[in-house]
Amino acid sequence: MYLMPARLFGCRPAKGNSQPILFLLEYMFGILDENGDVNMTVTKQRDALQLLKTIPLFPWYVEKFVEHKKAKKHSPSTLLGYLRDFAFFFRWLMAEGLTDAPEMKQIPLHVLNDLKKETVESYILYLQESHLYERAALLDKPTRSSRREYSDQTIKRKISSLKSLFHYLASLAEDENGESYLTRNVMAKIEVEADELTPLARAHAMRAKILIDGEIHQFVDFVYNGYLAHCTTTKKQQYHYQNRDRDAAIIALILSGGFRVSEIVNLNLSDVVLEKNQLKMVRKGKKEDAPFFSDWGKEYLQRYLQVRSKYQPAAGEQAVFLAVSPTKPHGHRIEVRSVQKLVKKYAQAFGIPDLSVHKLRHSFATQFLRLNPDPHQLQAQLGHSKLETTMQYAHVLEDALSEAVNRTTRTVGTLSPDTTETHDPTEES
């Protein structure tokens, strides 16, 4: 990538930063503003820096694609998702001998231009049957990911990512002569089936993965008290005691306000307004907001804050939720992936293995609509830009209510025989 001097952008290096090129990179990727001040949440900072480290591993035309998407305000997380999908495809090309390039960065553009539809279809088949193959040669972490079966949605996403890249190279980008980078777009011949589920069908599928009614309180109580019975070793018991206040507070906070996991992870101590039950945050689209949380969630949060110091936070660490590790013995900001894993751990032990951290947000939204049937209020609480996004929970609520009614009589058993005498129903009062 051609780097222009920072002065041409009217930028100055950040305080203490004697590396103008690094500053320029951080400015271009939105990490810093024109004054050298941090311009995004902690999670997005990490993703943006990871993006800077990862891009050099790819061919120049992928770098051009990323620059194009960055100009269209795509988030660092979204761009990293593209790169992961491209990396898997490029490594498959190399493993199949479809390019002589020794590494991804050196895969020439003509390899993409000359791909046949049959080759792409073979890749799709490979994705569908990947759990049948040993994929260690293709993966960064083969011991954890090999033999994993991809869902239909994951496969669709991987193909859609490639379609975006090929469309850019064939139809949007051009060289110094005004010609497209690709003369043919094989991915234009590949169809990706649209989601055929109706809103009601999606709601029914979601219902099996969320908490309703009393399950919300039961789950958090299980995290704090019940999970101990599943700890089979003294070490696991100690780990649970060390972290149960934090884990219960994170989960209760999401369930009491419908927050995104990234919003919880990015919280600083100064963002918590306990007297008003509010959290100050920057939501999607860089919108500043201060949504509320319930008194019930507040109790768990306060209990955690009273013991937060046991994580021995590093000097200046302002993150609300902390974690420690063998390499980082002092408390540091917990990562999104860590929260996702701890929710999955508790969900499996609780008996709802499909419950994820994002489904906790869905659980709150469904319960909110049940008690407050105003989708506009829910839209404001969740930070949705479109009401249609919020309305999906109306369908979930309908299905959840049906399930709740069924549960009230599930233990009754079979229908009792009719032992009453025949009578005239018109005589009933």
Task: Provide the token pair at 279.
Answer: 């959290």
- Beta-strand pair 332-333/278-279: unpaired
* Secondary element (H or E) of residue 42: helix 42-54
What is the H or E stretch that residue 359 is in? helix 357-371
Q: What pLDDT is recorded for position 397?
A: 61
On whether the CB atoms of residues 319 and 268 are closer than 8 A, the answer is: yes
**Single-letter code of the amino acid located at 262:** S
Residue (of 318, 210, 207) closest to 272 by Cα position: 318
pLDDT for the residue 204:
60
Structural domains in the chain plus CATH codes: 40-189 (no CATH), 200-405 (1.10.443.10)
Assigned token pair, 304: 């955690």
Q: What span, in angstroms and rounded, lies between the C-alpha atoms of 4 and 72? A: 20
Cβ atoms of 15 and 37 closer than 8 Å: no
Residue 366, number of CB atoms within 10 A of its CB: 30
Cβ-contact 252, 224 below 8 angstroms: no
**Cα–Cα distance, 191 to 57 (Å, whole number):** 29
**Residuewise pLDDT in 10s, the chain (429 residues):** 333 333 333 344 444 444 544 444 554 555 545 454 445 667 778 888 888 899 999 999 999 999 999 888 888 888 999 999 999 999 999 988 999 999 999 999 999 999 999 999 999 988 887 655 544 444 444 444 444 567 888 899 999 999 999 999 999 998 888 899 999 999 999 987 765 555 555 656 666 678 888 899 999 999 999 999 999 999 999 999 999 999 999 999 999 999 989 899 999 999 999 999 999 988 776 778 899 999 999 999 999 999 999 999 989 999 999 999 888 889 999 999 999 999 999 999 999 888 999 899 888 888 887 887 778 888 878 887 777 777 766 666 665 556 555 555 544 444 444 444 444 444 443
Mapped onto helix, strand or coil, the DSSP state of residue 318 is coil
Alpha-carbon distance of 69 to 73, in angstroms, equals: 7
Q: Kindly list the catalytic residues.
A: 260, 284, 358, 361, 384, 393
Distance CA 7, CA 317 (A): 33
This prediction has a pTM of 0.59
Cα-based angle 282, 285, 287 (whole degrees, multiple of 5): 40
Structural element, H or E, at residue 248: helix 234-257
**Rounded to 5 degrees, what angle do the CA atoms 7, 11, 15 make?**
120
Contacts 24+ apart (CB under 8 A), 168-173: 168/64, 168/65, 168/68, 169/61, 169/65, 169/109, 169/112, 172/68, 173/61, 173/64, 173/65, 173/68
Buried b (16+ CB within 10 A) or exposed e, 62-97: bebbbeebbeeeebbbebbbbbebbbbbbbbbbeee
